[in-house]
């Protein structure tokens, strides 16, 4: 089986490397294509992939075409690959907002997968939600899932709306966590800690809290109750967040990403 990755940016390269580290594919069965001369030069230096700059030299030979360009490049790309594809090929797209129907219309292909990964894929801790068109068989779906799982975990969703929704939660979510971390680091600095100590304080707090959360079946609310005692320090912080409506604001932010994903798909 041959996989072609189109777009060797952050995500495309992450998946190409994930697939190449797994035992699913031989390194020489991963092709990668980018339009940027600079990228092509870098890729040739890494040298464990077959690198291309012309679609006609690689698209017809791929069983799976994995698309990782920015959404605004999709129309031009799909029109260019349409004359080169055959009905047996599967397209996997990780582009935000680009719908299955749109991909089918522009490429003429029936087997299309839409996936939404997130940044921790870069360290094998990603979360990818995905959905496939009806023409993708059960066996092919397992293969797709195995490819996506080379960068972490994947979740098959029941309708495409959940891809846009997961963009608002897991896709864009790492940035919300960084936002929270930034605020806490700024507070630590203002309290007089050095940059290095602020970083350790914040990062260990996040890591520890997430590990604790994963070890028991408690809701975040229950954990908060366990940490915060009446009249104590944590309760003062949580009350301040409640007074400032932080909970609603975070939900609003997640919906802003969800709505933007829907908008991109129009
Ligand atoms: N980054 C994330 O956390 C994340 C999360 C979920 C989903 N995604 C999705 O992943 C996709 C890729 O994001 P990214 O951050 O990896 O983007 P990126 O770093 O900009 O990478 C895209 C690469 O594709 C190249 N390219 C552009 N047009 C092309 C074409 N027609 N054929 C081949 N290569 C082409 C770009 O070259 P130039 O730089 O020269 O244009 C660039 O090297 C996006 O659609 C995004 O929605 C990203």
CATH of the domain at 108: 3.40.50.720
Among candidate residues 106, 136, 167, the one where a domain is terminated: 167
Residues 49 and 143 in one domain: yes
Bridge partners, 129 (sequence order): 116, 155
CATH number of the domain within which 250 lies: 1.10.3730.10
Question: What range does the domain containing 137 cover?
Answer: 3-167
Cα 38 to averaged position of ligand 1 atoms, centre (Å): 14
User: Ligand 1 pocket, 36 CB below 6 A?
Assistant: yes
Residues 136 and 198 in one domain: no
How many domains is the chain built from?
A: 2
Bridge partners, 249 (sequence order): none
Residues 120 and 198 in one domain: no
Tokens read off for 142: 């397992």
Cα 21 to averaged position of ligand 1 atoms, centre (Å): 21
Residues 179 and 163 in one domain: no
| Ligand 1 atom nearest to 70, measured from its CA | 45
pLDDT at residue number 22: 87
Among candidate residues 143, 167, 191, the one where a domain is terminated: 167
Residues 103 and 147 in one domain: yes
Residues 178 and 124 in one domain: no
Among candidate residues 133, 152, 167, the one where a domain is terminated: 167
Q: At what angle do helices 246-264 and 173-190 cross, to 10 degrees?
A: 140
Q: What is the pLDDT along the chain (266 residues), one digit of tens a residue?
A: 999 999 999 999 999 999 988 888 877 799 999 999 998 998 888 777 899 999 999 999 999 999 999 999 999 999 999 999 999 999 999 998 899 999 999 999 999 999 999 999 999 999 999 999 999 999 999 999 999 999 999 999 999 999 999 999 999 999 999 999 999 999 999 999 999 999 999 999 999 999 999 999 999 999 999 999 999 999 999 999 999 999 999 999 999 999 998 988 77
Bridge partners, 154 (sequence order): 128
pLDDT at residue number 23: 81
């Amino acid at each position: 089986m041959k996989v072609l990755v189109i777009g060797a940016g952050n995500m495309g390269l992450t998946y190409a490397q994930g697939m190449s580290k797994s035992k699913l594919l031989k390194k020489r069965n991963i092709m990668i294509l980018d339009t940027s001369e600079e990228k092509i030069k870098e890729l040739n230096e890494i040298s464990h992939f077959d690198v291309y700059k012309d679609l006609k030299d690689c698209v017809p030979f791929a069983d799976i075409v994995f698309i990782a360009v920015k959404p605004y490049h999709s129309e031009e790309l799909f029109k260019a690959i349409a004359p080169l594809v055959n009905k047996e090929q599967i397209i996997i797209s990780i582009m935000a907002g680009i719908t299955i129907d749109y991909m089918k219309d522009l490429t003429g292909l029936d087997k299309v997968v839409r996936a939404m990964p997130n940044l921790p894929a870069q360290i094998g801790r990603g979360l990818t939600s995905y959905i496939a068109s009806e023409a993708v068989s059960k066996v092919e779906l397992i293969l797709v899932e195995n490819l996506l799982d080379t960068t972490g975990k994947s979740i098959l969703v029941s309708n495409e709306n959940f891809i846009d929704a997961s963009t608002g939660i897991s896709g864009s979510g790492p940035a919300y966590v960084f936002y929270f971390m930034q605020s806490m680091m700024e507070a630590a600095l203002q309290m007089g800690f050095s940059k290095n100590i602020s970083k350790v304080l914040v990062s260990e707090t996040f890591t520890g809290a997430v590990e604790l959360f994963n070890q028991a079946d408690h809701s975040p609310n229950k954990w908060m109750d366990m940490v915060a005692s009446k009249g104590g320090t944590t309760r003062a912080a949580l009350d301040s967040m409640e007074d400032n409506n932080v909970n609603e604001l975070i939900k609003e932010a997640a919906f802003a990403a969800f709505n933007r994903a829907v908008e991109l798909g129009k």
